[in-house]
Amino acid sequence: MESLTPREITMLFLALGLLLASARLLGEVARRFNQPAVLGEIFAGILWGPTVLGALAPAWNRALFPHSGGGALAMDGLMTLAITLFLMVAGLEVDLSTIWRQGKTALSVGIAGIVGPFSVGFLGAWFLPGWMGREAHADPFIFALFMATALSISALPVIAKTLMDLNLYRSDLGMLVVAAAVFNDLVGWIIFAIILSMIGTPDRAMSIGQTIGLTLGFTALMLTAARWLIHRVLPWIQAHLSWPGGVLGFALSLTLVCAAFTEWIGIHAIFGAFLAGVALGDSAHLRERTRATIEQFVSFIFAPLFFASIGLKVDFVRQFDLVLVITVIIIATLGKVLGCGLAGRLSGLARREAWALGFGMNARGAMEIILGLLALKYGVIGERLFVALVVMALVTSVMGGPLMQRVLRLKQPRRFTRYLGSRGFINNLNARSRPETISELAQVCARITGLDAADINDGVLVREQLMATGIGHGLAVPHARMRGLEEPVIAVGLSRAGIDFDAPDGAPAHVVFMILTPVHDDGAQLEILADIATTFKDEEVREKSRNVSGLTEFLALVRSGRVG
């Protein structure tokens, strides 16, 4: 039996480890700058790929990421699995009822999202073949058809990731974008399948008609009968098999078999996985924890690996042709944004939402690259155009998030940790009573803000006399609105002995937050109080927070306690 050599295994694992570490790290950096994590992840791949490492130390680049042999094939298999599982998770998040509600709008946006860029792309490639980078030997009609399709297909995974990063995925607008993108993709891939059959690729198991018929039939089946069946089967699995092994095994094997099916009928494996995710996620019987286990592992391990692998595929410097890149970006963006935006407006969306829809749909990414790779393989396009398509895919993907964020005027939700510095953390309160505690924390806040300690003390006490701020579970949140503050300030004091804050459950407070907010900022106090309450709902956070050794450990605990 053919297997990997020790050297191939060494390099494969080393490559995966380095890729994952750097993708996660740069993903975090991107998020710190309010960019989607996917940008940092792709950039990590560019660093390790031919563009940077390949230019500086080509031997290392080749050794880590070989282009042929067992290591390359194993990596390709893993990355295909990664993108497939990522699409399954994206499918899990789709709420079908929202899509049905958005049905008509989604359909018209989906159609406009194809017709717009398809016509622009076809006309451009037909009349300006030089500008669009047609190779001398390429068939003009097939080339124009390919460019038209390539510009029409949206990148469902990138769109999904962008929407998740912006917390828009479950919103109506997010679902509309996804619904339109799904429709868009299905049609786009069918057109692409037709093109492939015109070129006459090997390895096709069936005719185009069969592919189209099976695609539509399979989609219909998954969204009706399979969905119903899964909803019936899940409780039985949870009742009779071990947990969560039964459900996890079922969900993943179903996904893999569906992926194999769609790959077999000639569209990509990710479609089956996506539809399996939709059918699974729609059942209320899939418990939150099972969902979380799958989502966390896939979103934080498989997705960064896949997106980093995109950066590995090309040399972004040597094959870079600025004019071609700009031409492709403009043509792609014009067709897509105008087409989708107009369709959105005509369907009754507000102006800002219609623009956001257009920018969202404009993201290409992985799909574009897969398509480009196939076209390159079959000689329809050259390396230069391939790079331009990849750059266009990256730019449109990266633009999508920030443009949506700006046009929708989204604000990041404020977490209380943002206003908590090392000077505001008292590891062990000296105070033993409520007034002593408030006075001790007021002095800390005075040092941070420059306000008068007595003023703070009075403000908080007045509020405290209105109603005690012990909220139970060992937590107290004395607070006040203060004149002269520009932004909220929080101090935290821990008390091993506990201080009576007259909580409803009678328990003494071990963690006391003093929260001062500006008078003019109405929302801040509520947001911060709600955030603290949510964070400390977690029993583990409550128990452990009393015994942390310092601010770093405290922050580690409360930040990690938010998710899952």
Q: Which is nearer to a second copy, 429 or 551 (CB)?
A: 551
Q: Name which of 86, 11, 45 is nearest 316 in CA terms.
A: 45
Q: Which is nearer to a second copy, 217 or 348 (CB)?
A: 217
Smallest separation, CB 432 to a second copy (Å): 29
Beta pairing class for 475-476 and 489-499:
unpaired
Q: Is 515 helix (H, G, I), strand (E, B) or coil?
A: strand
Output the six-digit token pair for 561: 């306690």
Q: Which of 285, 479, 510, 520 is labelled catalytic? A: 479
Calpha distance 180→108 (Å, rounded)? 8
Q: What is the CB neighbour count within 10 angstroms for residue 6?
A: 7
Q: Is 171 helix (H, G, I), strand (E, B) or coil?
A: coil
Smallest separation, CB 165 to a second copy (Å): 10
Q: Which is nearer to a second copy, 112 or 237 (CB)?
A: 237
Smallest separation, CB 174 to a second copy (Å): 20
Calpha distance 213→190 (Å, rounded)? 10
Q: CB neighbours of 54 closer than 8 A, spacing ≥ 6?
A: 61, 62, 315
Smallest separation, CB 408 to a second copy (Å): 22
Q: Name which of 265, 304, 301 is nearest 39 in CA terms.
A: 304
Q: In the block, which residue shows the tokens 């505690």?
A: 437
Smallest separation, CB 247 to a second copy (Å): 8
Q: Which is nearer to a second copy, 16 or 186 (CB)?
A: 16
Q: In the block, which residue shows the tokens 């009706």?
A: 224
Q: What is the CB neighbour count within 10 angstroms for residue 202?
A: 5
Smallest separation, CB 333 to a second copy (Å): 28
Q: In the block, which residue shows the tokens 């699974």?
A: 280
Phi, psi of 481 (to 5 degrees): -90, 130
| Residues 518/481, Cβ–Cβ less than 8 Å | yes
Q: Which is nearer to a second copy, 110 or 266 (CB)?
A: 266
Q: Which is nearer to a second copy, 329 or 475 (CB)?
A: 475
Tell me, yes or no, if 479 is annotated catalytic. yes
Q: Which residues are catalytic?
A: 479
